[in-house]
Amino acid sequence: MQSVQEVTATMRAKGLRATPQRQCIIRLLQDNHSHPTVESLYEEALGEMPTISQRTVYQTVHDLESLGEVRLLDLGTGSLRVEPNLENPHHHLACIVCGRVVDIPVEFPGLRVPDDYLGGFSVDTVEVVFRGRCETCT
């Protein structure tokens, strides 16, 4: 995602207000490679804004998704995960025990659906998910 300044400018341009809550979430997502859940973002935000509500965090990440600033991943870990790193396309390795998600910033060439199997589908995205156990869960 872009810088706090850029994202807030984008929000204003779209008629959204750059509230402290939203700026807080945006800040927490800057250079964040932990793929946080909404819950964990909320916990962190509470440190700075003791009255922020979980509902606002949900709303904000959805707003950011609509603006194309983040993606919301469902990697089968039980809850949504926020992906702010859209600049560098990559794949993921998820721990089936604790849900930890790390990036696999590797391109896999030739990763597309052969025409014979398309069957009328139009493909938007490809996602490669490796699953296993992280060091602490082994």
Q: Are 89 and 107 in contact (CB under 8 A)?
A: yes
Burial code of 94-106, b = ≥16 C-beta within 10 A, e = fewer? bbeeebbbeeeee
| Among the listed residues 31, 88, 110, 115, the single contact to its own copies using CB under 8 A | 110
Q: Is residue 132 at the binding interface for its own copies, with CB under 8 A as the rule?
A: yes
Q: How far is the CB of 46 from DNA (least distance, A)?
A: 10
Tell whether residue 89 is a contact of its own copies (CB under 8 A). no
Interaction between residue 115 and its own copies (CB under 8 A): no
Q: Which tokens belong to 15? A: 């008629």
Q: Which of Zn ion, Mn ion, its own copies, none is residue 97 near (CB under 5 to 8 Å by kind)?
A: Zn ion
Give the residue, chosen from 2, 4, 10, 16, that forms a contact with DNA under the rule CB under 7 A. Answer: 16
Cβ-defined contacts of 30-33 (< 8 Å, 24+): 30/1, 30/3, 30/4, 30/84, 32/82, 32/84, 33/85, 33/102, 33/103
Nearer CB in complex with Mn ion: 25/84: 84
- Residue 89 carries which side chain, given as an amino acid letter? P
**Stretches 56-64, 86-94, 105-113, 125-133: which one binds DNA (CB under 7 A)?**
56-64
Q: In which residue are the tokens 């904000």 written?
A: 60
Task: By CB under 8 A, name the binding residues for its own copies.
Answer: 74, 76, 93, 95-96, 102-106, 108, 110-111, 113-114, 117-136, 138
